[in-house]
A and B are shown apart, each in its own frame.
Chain A
Amino acid sequence: GDSVTQMEGPVTLSEEAFLTINCTYTATGYPSLFWYVQYPGEGLQLLLKATKADDKGSNKGFEATYRKETTSFHLEKGSVQVSDSAVYFCALSDGGGADGLTFGKGTHLIIQP
C-alpha cells in the first residue's frame, strides 16, 4: 500500500538557518504530494502541494519539488523564523485510492531566536 516516510524530529534550528525536511513516498500510481503544517493548538493546514513530476509547490517561503526518480518531496526554506515552529506532515493522495490522504508521522520543527 501507499506510505510516506519523513525524517524524525524534533529538528531544532536557529532563526535564519536553512531548513530541509526530507520526505520519501511509496505509491502504486501517480500521486499528488502535499505538505501540511500544524501550529500549536490549531488544525492541520495545507502548506503546499504538487500534482505531477517536476512540479514545484511553494508558499510562505517554503518550497518542495516532486521528484519522481527519487520518489521524494523534500521541504525547504532558505531562512526560517521563530513563527515557523510547528509540526510538518508530508502526505500523498493517489488519485482515487480508497484511503484518502496518506500521511507521514510528522516532523516537529523548533526555531530558536
Chain B
Amino acid sequence: GAGVSQSPRYKVAKRGQDVALRCDPISGHVSLFWYQQALGQGPEFLTYFQNEAQLDKSGLPSDRFFAERPEGSVSTLKIQRTQQEDSAVYLCASSSTRGMANEKLFFGSGTQLSVL
C-alpha cells in the first residue's frame, strides 16, 4: 500500500476486555516497530520485528501485551485483560532497512485505545 495502515482507528474497551490492534506495513518492509504514546507524551518503544522474528520485546509493559507477525508482513498487537493505564495511542512503524537503530521509519496514524 501507499503507507502504513493501522486499524481500528479508535477502540473503546471495557476494563478486563481483550483487544487486538492491526498494522499493515508498507509492502516489502522488513522491519516493524510498535510504539505506545500516552496523552501528552512522546512515543515509547514496545517491540521490534525483523520479518517474522520478534527480536526485541523489552518495551512491552507487562505479560498482558503480546505481539506477532507470523508471515513477516501484517502484525497484531494484543492486549489481554485491558486496564485503564493501557489507554494510549498505539503506533506502528515500518522500514525497508534492517536493525533497531533504524533511521528510515514510516509511521501509521495509530490506534487510539480508550479503556473505560
Pair B101/A95 contact, Cβ less than 8 Å: yes
How big is the A interface, by class?
Answer: 20 to 34
Q: 5 closest pairs, A vs B, by CB? A: A103-B42, A43-B107, A100-B45, A44-B107, A43-B109
Pair A106/B101 contact, Cβ less than 8 Å: no
| B100 at interface by CB-CB < 8 Å | yes
Main secondary structure of the interface of B (DSSP, over half): loop
Q: How far is the CB of B40 from chain A (nearest CB, A)?
A: 7
Tell me the count of chain B residues lying within 8 A, CB to CB, of chain A: 28
Beta-carbon contacts under 8 Å, A85-108 to B: 89, 91, 93-106
Q: Kindly identify which residue among A34, A42, A103, A106 contacts B103, using a CB–CB cutoff of 8 Å.
A: A34
Pair A44/B58 contact, Cβ less than 8 Å: no
Beta-carbon contacts under 8 Å, A53-109 to B: 89, 91, 93-106
| A4 at interface by CB-CB < 8 Å | yes
Additional A-B contacts beyond A89-B43, A93-B101 (16; CB < 8 A): A4-B42, A36-B107, A42-B109, A43-B106, A43-B107, A43-B108, A51-B103, A96-B99, A96-B101, A97-B100, A98-B58, A101-B43, A101-B45, A101-B102, A103-B44, A105-B40
| A45 at interface by CB-CB < 8 Å | yes
Question: Complex: how many Å from CA A104 to CA B37?
Answer: 11
Question: Complex: how many Å from CA A53 to CA B35?
Answer: 28
Beta-carbon contacts under 8 Å, B63-114 to A: 91, 93, 99-110
Question: Complex: how many Å from CA A49 to CA B42?
Answer: 17
